[in-house]
Amino acid sequence: MQRWTAELVLDVRADLGEGPLWDARSGELLWVDIMAGLVHRFDPVTGNDVALDVGTPVGCVVPRAVGGYALGLRDGFGIANGDVGLVARLDTGRPDLRMNDGACDSRGRFWAGTMQLDCEPGAGCLYRLDADGSVRTMLSGVTISNGIGWSPDESVMYYVDTPTRRIDVFDYEPESGAIANRRALTELEEGAGDPDGLVVDVEGCVWVALWNGSAVRRYGPDGELIGVVDVPAGRVTKAAFGGAGLDELYITTAAGDEPLAGGLFRVRPGVRGLPAHAFAG
């Protein structure tokens, strides 16, 4: 099994750093500080990090094909292009819900899920925002909707609902965006930490962040544990491949007791990631 150690690249002391994603248009790493309502753009060449205050909790950010960004906000899906506004409100009747992790598939559909602020079991859902602005509920009864990713051949979708302690896999149909046949890729052992965000590399392996686990784990497509990135912060939230060659793994963390908690970290694991897709709407 391979092992790496991540190094600090930005001592930003985020409260709840999450959702890193490489924006190839600008050569920047996008990431969010959820409850602070901040969307960050980090330039690894200059070291500059610029934050946009969107005025509400923000669970995730993705590029938008026509410019600007699409967001998973507290009340639904939003757009930031100068101004910030909702484009699809989630009429849940629950002001204590917020959106969490999200990603776009290859057809530009934006997938993101919700959770209750106190993690009420089964209160959340996984949604899909299509290019025409319509929203579909893809899963219900979710507790903490987290990592979403697709295999390189797009035959499967990976998904994490954190309290299940599993990385799940669905059969995936890329043209329609349909998912079916949910089953576990792997279940984490007690004491490892809780599965959080995930990202998939070009070899089809899944890198999952471990909340309260001080690590990112790499699992093969068969569910075998084949690598570990040690992170000098306990609450590890998500990883994303970035850099011009998509060969740098950036890792977000949340506040905690460690001196570097809430920092942004990086490691070069010797494998490349897949390009992030933009929202088509």
Q: How many residues does the chain have?
A: 281
DSSP per-residue letters across the chain: -EEEE-EEEE----SBEEEEEEETTTTEEEEEETTTTEEEEE-TTT--EEEEE-SS-EEEEEEBTTSSEEEEESSEEEEEESEEEEEEE---S-TTEEEEEEEE-TT--EEEEEEETT--TT-EEEEEE-TTS-EEEEEEEESBEEEEEE-TTSSEEEEEEGGG-EEEEEEEETTTTEEEEEEEEEEPPTTS-EEEEEEEBTTS-EEEEEETTTEEEEE-TTS-EEEEEE-SSSBEEEEEEETTTT-EEEEEEB--SSTTTT-EEEE--S--BPPPPPB--
52 DSSP β-pair partners: 39
Residue 71, strand partner residues: 61, 78
Q: How far apart are the first and last CA of the chain?
A: 42
- Active site members: 196
| Torsion angles phi and psi, residue 224, rounded to 5 | -75, 135
State how far the Cα of 126 lies from the Cα of 52, in Å rounded to an integer. 26
Q: Which residues contact 82 (CB under 8 A, 6 or more apart)?
A: 68
